[in-house]
Structure 1
Amino acid sequence: MHPTGEQIDLVAGTTRAVVTGVGAGLRALAIDGQPRTESFEVDTTPPMGAGGVLVPWPNRIAGAAYTWRGRRYSLEVTEAARGHAIHGLLRRRPWEIVDRAEDRVVLAADVDPAWGWPGPLHVETTYTCGPDGLTVAHALTNTGTDDVPAGVGTHPYLRAGDADPATCTVTVAADRVVDTDDLMIPTGVRPVTPAEDLRGGRRVGDLALDTCFGAAPGPDGVLGTVTAPDGRATALWGDASFRWVMVFTPDDLAGRGRAVAVEPMTCPADAANSGTDLHVVAPGETWTMRWGITSRDAT
């Protein structure tokens, strides 16, 4: 068995995706014959969180501990270098395929309170290929008897075809930036400065970012776009639940050089402690959200 479990191929027109049974992650996406996300080999684990579904929190929880409704909870330390818990509880666990078609798959997994979360959550993630791109939906249902906090994020690295990401321009619809301490935990939110503002686009090779921004998308919901010098472009959109977007530009992703992640998130890092945009799911309630990736190639 591969490290990411079963490989689920989806196709609709010129849109093709590969979804993984472990983590319900996005391993590959192509539109119009052009790669739109960074992929990774089937016999490897996802590099630097590539394609992951981050639930019941995205990013970091400081010191792998938090307090909810007066009770202190501890989590497994999964970012050893900083001592934090990172990217939720389900990205390395097997998900069950509950529905499947040529262009669509629904995967499900459960957050177990024994892992350090205040209550159970049943999580379903649906990938749907369409002629214009990929749509991803998440549904979190509280199957317990008490309120449960939650946040959701994903970790796609965008590509504009085969163009070197370092030569591409990244544009992000965001007007605020999160300041962090030396351990990458938020210390405050403020308006972007002209040097930080990505709304006009910046060359990826000129950036060194592991930075959370407050989203300010237009009516089309586009959070970020990566555009090649020849006009090929890949856009990531999200619904109103995605109020934050992480931009990460590692120097080297699995030996392939510079990459750029544009990560939609419902809350910023350490929301379990700060409460910032931490969603509360009532017993029996289902919280839903959608995001997706489309082609914006120049014609």
Structure 2
Amino acid sequence: MSADLFSLAAPAGEPLVELRHGARRVLLAPHVGGAVAAFYETRGADVIHWLRPATEAMLAAHNALGMASFPLLPYCNRIRDARFVFDGEPVDLSDDGNRFPHALHGNAWRRPWRVGESTETRATLHFQHALSDEAGHRWPFAFEASQEIVLDADALHIAMTLRNLADRPMPFGIGHHPYFPRTANTFVHAHVDEMWHGTPDPLPTHLAAHGSVEALKSPQGLSADAFDLDNHFVGWNRAVTIAWPDEHRAVTLSAGAPFDFMVIYAPKQLPDELCVEPVSNVADWINLDVARAQKGGGVLQPGETIRAAFALTTQRVV
């Protein structure tokens, strides 16, 4: 792609935040769920996209699902029927403004974030949730969150924080949702132990072996087209590489705790979509009756903060 052919403009009054480091660029869309809209670099007349870039139509629609990556807070993935019981009290998120039958990814990805400090290579985004009857604000625990996003010569770094502002314990999940370019020659490499199998919804049913587990560990890696995936993997070593061998390039996502699980979304019916996500829990963790090591998730005490960070390190492959 010619460098002068790539441009991305937000609607009037909703500017993008641009980070720059040499030939590398990151575009942030605070008004679209605190999302990353693009991460790319120029090489001569070419533009190399490390994440699937947003489009102006998706920006105008405020659709985080059309961004390059977006934060998952205060929980990740689905909650069955948008309901759960915590500390003996029922929680109903079915009227949360979420159009999905199972509550999905919390509410921070559907709300605007505020820009804090910003320099050429670093920006901080902030989000605060107060209790309200407004649609999209039915999560019954007040919290605040931030993202510190840093671009350097080797990587894009994202550090997230989540703080419980309620006067009682709050269940939580945290994650990020990057979309990668998907071609006929896209491969994913990672060490994992098992995969959560699921229903068509999809919701998890059981942990077991799967062909993708061994493929991920193989020298070639897992082809993005090999299976119809929307599944969680356990036992990963918090590092996964997405490679495009015919383009002689790769990007490695490395994460720290509490990102103890990895999601791969590579649907057969959407052959252009590929997500490889660092998350703190599997879908519907709060309703699953299994050991915490198998499902993740956690609880923040009043005033307690958790930090979670990951990086996308790019590589040229000979």
TM-score range relative to shorter protein: 0.7 to 0.9
Q: Which stretches of structure 1, 4 residues or more, deviate above 6 A after TM superposition? A: none
Who is 2:243 aligned against?
A: 226
1:166 deviates by: 2.2
Question: Which amino acid is 2:26 matched to?
Answer: A
Cα gap change, 1:186/1:195 in structure 2, threshold over 3 Å: closer, same or farther? closer
1:79 deviates by: 4.5
Who is 1:212 aligned against?
A: 232
CA distance in 2, matches of 1:226, 1:212: 20
Give unpaired runs (5+ residues) of structure 1: none
Question: Which amino acid is 2:285 matched to?
Answer: A
Who is 2:260 aligned against?
A: 243
Which of residues 150, 168, 177 is equivalent to 1:155? 177
Q: Is the 8 A contact 1:37 1:158 kept in 2?
A: yes
1:128 deviates by: 0.5
Q: Is the 8 A contact 1:142 1:285 kept in 2?
A: yes
Who is 1:271 aligned against?
A: 285
1:138-178 CA-to-partner distances (Å, cap 9, x unmatched) read 0111122211111111111123xxxx622121123321111
1:235-279 CA-to-partner distances (Å, cap 9, x unmatched) read 1111121111111113576xxx52311011011101232363222
1:111 deviates by: 2.6
Q: Is the 8 A contact 2:38 2:67 kept in 1?
A: no
Report the TM-score when normalising by structure 1: 0.87
Q: Which secondary structure state, in structure 1, belongs to the residue aligned with residue 163 of structure 2?
A: strand
Q: Is the 8 A contact 2:193 2:213 kept in 1?
A: no
Q: Which has the larger radius of gyration?
A: 2
Report the TM-score when normalising by structure 2: 0.82
1:202 deviates by: 1.8
Q: Is the 8 A contact 1:172 1:225 kept in 2?
A: no
Q: Which secondary structure state, in structure 1, belongs to the residue aligned with residue 276 of structure 2?
A: strand
CA distance in 1, matches of 2:259, 2:235: 8
Give unpaired runs (5+ residues) of structure 2: 1-9
CA distance in 1, matches of 2:12, 2:222: 35
Question: Which amino acid is 1:13 matched to?
Answer: G
Matches within 5 A, 1:245-264: 245-251=262-268, 257-264=271-278
CA distance in 2, matches of 1:53, 1:97: 15
Higher relative contact order (CA 8 A, sep 6+): 1
**Between Structure 1 and Structure 2, which shows a larger proportion of helix residues?**
2
Which of residues 73, 76, 86 is equivalent to 2:91? 73
Structure 1 stretch displaced more, 287-296 or 228-237: 228-237
Question: Which amino acid is 2:228 matched to?
Answer: A
Cα gap change, 1:243/1:31 in structure 2, threshold over 3 Å: closer, same or farther? farther
Q: Calculate the aligned-residue CA RMSD, in Å.
A: 2.3
Who is 2:312 aligned against?
A: 293
Matches within 5 A, 1:23-172: 23-31=33-41, 33=43, 34-44=48-58, 45-47=63-65, 50-75=68-93, 76=96, 78-80=98-100, 83-114=101-132, 115-159=137-181, 165-172=183-190
Cα gap change, 1:252/1:102 in structure 2, threshold over 3 Å: closer, same or farther? farther
CA distance in 1, matches of 2:30, 2:13: 6
Question: Which amino acid is 2:253 matched to?
Answer: L
Question: Which amino acid is 2:266 matched to?
Answer: T
Cα gap change, 1:147/1:260 in structure 2, threshold over 3 Å: closer, same or farther? same
Matches within 5 A, 1:3-42: 5-22=14-31, 23-31=33-41, 33=43, 34-42=48-56
Number of residue pairs matched by the alignment: 286
1:48 deviates by: 5.5
CA distance in 2, matches of 1:70, 1:171: 42
Cα gap change, 1:97/1:195 in structure 2, threshold over 3 Å: closer, same or farther? closer
CA distance in 1, matches of 2:197, 2:249: 32
CA distance in 2, matches of 1:283, 1:3: 39
Question: Which amino acid is 2:155 matched to?
Answer: G
Question: Which amino acid is 1:213 matched to?
Answer: F
Cα gap change, 1:252/1:52 in structure 2, threshold over 3 Å: closer, same or farther? farther
CA distance in 2, matches of 1:39, 1:48: 8
